[in-house]
Structure 1
C-alpha cells in the first residue's frame, strides 16, 4: 500500500501527512489487538478454525477498502483488516511448536517467518505497478482474491494441531485440559485472555525480548514511511520503479531465512551436544540472536549515510538488505526462544505481537518530524544506537542467566 499513498491522498483529498501515514499504520494498531484475542482463542478452541475465521474477516474488509467512500471509512476498514490479518502472527509459530520438536523447529520457523516479513516488502513492488497502471483500488481487490484462494485451500486441507483440542474431539474428556491441569471453562477463558498481558508485564524475559524486537520491527515500518520521499523525490523514481526500492529488504529476508534455516538448528544442536549431553534448552537460541543483532545497526548506518550523501540509489538499498538480514534472523531467534520457554506458546507470541504491532503503528507517525529535525543520516544513526543499546547487552545477560530467571516463572517450561 505504501507506494499508493500519494494517490490515496489525492483521491480522498488528504493534506495532513499524519493522516496519510495513518491509513498505512492503522493496520498495525489492530495487529496489536488481534493476537490478544486469537492467540488465547486458539488455546481454547484450537488453531484451525480461528485461522479460518480471521482470514474471512481480512477478505471482507479488503474488498471494503477498495470501495471505501471516505477517509474515515478507509481507516476504519484498514483497522478491522489488520485485526483479521493478525491471527497468523500468534498462531502460525504455535503450529510449528505443536508439530516440531525443539531440535527440529528452527528451519520450519525460519520458513514460516519469511512470509509476514517479506509480504510487506513484495507488496509495495506489486502495489507500485498496480497503482501506476490500473489504480490503487485494484491493490485491495488483489488482496481479496488472494484471501479467497487461501480460505478455499485452508478449509479443505488445514487440520488441527493443538494436542488438548485434538484429544477432546476424540472424546478423551480434555475439553478444558491445559498444560498445567484441569480448570473450569469460564476460569480457563479468563486465564487465557489475561495470560498474554501477564507474560508481557511480569516476565522480564518476554518484556525485554519483545522490546528489542518491537524496536527493529518499528524501524522496519518507519522505513516504509520514508521510502516514498527518498526514492521519489531524491532519486526521481516513478510510482512503479519506487516499489523496487523495497527489494533490498526482501533479498535480505530471503538470505536471512536461508542462513537461519541452515545454521540456526546447527548452532543449537552443536551447543546441546557439546555442553549439555545432547539436551537442548532455550538459552541455546541466544548465540544466534547475538550474531543476528550486529547486522541491524550496520544496515541502518549504511542506509542512512548513503542516502544522506545521495550516492547511487543501490547503496541505500544494499543497506536495507543488511538490515533485513539481521531483522529476520533476530525475529526467528526470539520467536524460537519464546516458544521453547513458555508452556502457552500462542499467549507468549501474542504478548510479543502486541509490542511489535504498536511499534509498527507508532514509528511511521514520527518519521517525518524526526528526519526533518535530524536528517536521514543522523536519524538512522540514532536508531542504530538504540538497537545496539537494547539488542546486544540483554541477550548476553540472558544467555548466562536465562535458565535461572525462567525457573521463577510458573508459566515457563522446565528444562530438566
Structure 2
C-alpha cells in the first residue's frame, strides 16, 4: 500500500493534481481567511471615536470592543472543527460565513456599547469558521516537502487581514467505505468532539506550541489596541494618517512569507537527506530559534516578521506530526491564541492594580515593549528546545 506521503499515481488523489488545480482552491479559501481576521482590528484606529459616540468611559472597555471579537474567534473552533469533519468543510464554511456577514454588518447599526460588544462577539464566533479549518486540506493536496509554501500563502491572509482591516478514490472500485460507516453517527460526533480535548490534555506538543503561539498573538493585539494612542497623542497624527502605520505589520508579514518559507523548506529537505530520508516533524522547528531572538529584539516590522516565521514553523510542525488529525491540533493553537489576543489588551490595563491605569502609562512604551521581549525569550526558547 502506498504511504500518505508517496501515494500511487491516481489522478483523483489530490496530491497528484496539477499544480494549478491545487492552488486555485487554496487561493480562493485564502480570500475567506482574509476577511474575518480583518474585522478584528478594523475598529482599532477609531476606538476613541467609538468610545465618545457610545459613551464608553471605562478604560478597560475600549480595548474590549476590539478584543471581544477574538473571544468568539477562540470559542467557535471548539464546535466548528468537529462539525466540518462530520458534515464537510464547504457546508460549514458557507453557513457560518453567512452568519458572520450578518452579524458583522449589524455592528454598524449598534446604538449602545452593549449591542456593539455582543455583535462583535457573535461576528468572531461565526467568522472563525474560515480560519484554521483548511490546514488539513493543505495536507491532503501537498506532499510534506511542498507544504511550506502552501501554508505560507494560506497563513499570510489571516495575518495580512488585520493589517488592512480527503479526497481519495480508485477508478472502477465501488465497494469503498470510510471508517465512519462502521460507527453510529452519535459515536462519530463523540469521537470528533473529544479529540481536541484529549490532545490538549495528553500531548505536550499541543500544550507547548499553543502556549507559545498564544503569547505571540497576545503581543500582536496589544500593539493593535494601544499603539494608536502613541501615534495620535504623542506624535499628534490624525487618525487617518496614524492607521497607515499598520502597513508596517503587513510588510513584516509579507517579508517573512517570502524568506521564511523558502528557508523552512530548504532546512527541512536538508535534514531529511542527512537522516537517510527519515521524516520528522522536528525538522520544521529550527527556524524558530533565530525567529524567537528577533522577536525579542524588534517590534512592529521586525516583530511581525519574526512572529509570522514562528507561526509558519508551528503550523507545519503540527501538520507533519498529526496528519489527518492536524485540524484538531491546529484548533488548539487557534483557541489559545485567540484567548490571549482577547485577554492581553485587557490584562495590560489591570496589571498594576489600578483599574484606570495602563502598563504603558507606568513604564512607557520602551520599557513595556522591552518587558514583553524578555518574556518572549523566556517562553519561546524553552518551547523550541522542548520540541
Partner of 1:37: 79
Aligned residue for 1:69, secondary structure, equals: coil
Give the drift of 1:224: 0.7
Counting only pairs closer than 5 Å after superposition, residues 46-195 of structure 1 correspond to structure 2 as 46-123=88-165, 162-163=166-167, 172-174=176-178, 176=180, 182-195=182-195
* Partner deviation per Cα, 1:162-215 (whole Å, 9 max, x = no partner): 338999xx88332716xxxx4332122112112212212221111111101100
Aligned equivalents of 1:364 and 1:239: distance in 2? 20
8 Å CA contact 2:291, 2:310 repeated in 1: yes
8 Å CA contact 2:261, 2:312 repeated in 1: no
Aligned equivalents of 1:5 and 1:207: distance in 2? 34
Give the drift of 1:34: 0.9
Residue 318 of structure 2 is aligned with which of 331, 335, 338? 338
Call closer, same or farther: CA 1:236–1:292 in 2, change over 3 Å.
Answer: same
Task: Write 1 or 2 for the structure with the bigger share of helix.
Answer: 1
Give the drift of 1:70: 1.7
Give the drift of 1:375: 2.1
8 Å CA contact 2:100, 2:123 repeated in 1: yes
Partner of 1:348: 329
Partner of 1:295: 294
1:370 is the counterpart of 2:359: yes
8 Å CA contact 1:286, 1:396 repeated in 2: no
Aligned equivalents of 2:184 and 2:106: distance in 1? 40
Aligned residue for 2:69, secondary structure, equals: helix
Call closer, same or farther: CA 1:203–1:74 in 2, change over 3 Å.
Answer: same
* Partner deviation per Cα, 1:12-43 (whole Å, 9 max, x = no partner): 11111211111110000011111111111222
Give the drift of 1:385: 1.1
CA-based RMSD of the aligned residues comes to 1.9
8 Å CA contact 2:219, 2:372 repeated in 1: yes
Give runs of ≥4 in structure 1 deviating > 4 Å.
164-167
1:385 is the counterpart of 2:365: no
Aligned residue for 2:45, secondary structure, equals: helix
Residue 18 of structure 1 is aligned with which of 28, 36, 60? 60
Give the drift of 1:373: 2.7
Aligned residue for 1:243, secondary structure, equals: helix
Call closer, same or farther: CA 1:384–1:171 in 2, change over 3 Å.
Answer: farther
Aligned residue for 1:172, secondary structure, equals: coil
Partner of 1:359: 340
Give the drift of 1:247: 1.4
Partner of 1:327: 307
Aligned residue for 2:369, secondary structure, equals: helix
8 Å CA contact 2:212, 2:383 repeated in 1: no
Aligned equivalents of 2:370 and 2:332: distance in 1? 29
8 Å CA contact 1:89, 1:349 repeated in 2: no
Aligned residue for 2:348, secondary structure, equals: helix
Residue 6 of structure 1 is aligned with which of 40, 48, 62? 48
8 Å CA contact 1:164, 1:174 repeated in 2: no
Q: Which runs of 5+ in 2 are unaligned?
A: 1-42, 350-357
Aligned equivalents of 1:256 and 1:242: distance in 2? 24
Aligned residue for 2:110, secondary structure, equals: coil
Partner of 1:407: none
* TM-score, scaled relative to structure 2: 0.82
8 Å CA contact 1:165, 1:174 repeated in 2: no
Call closer, same or farther: CA 1:379–1:257 in 2, change over 3 Å.
Answer: same
Partner of 1:265: 265
Number of aligned residues: 334
Partner of 1:207: 207
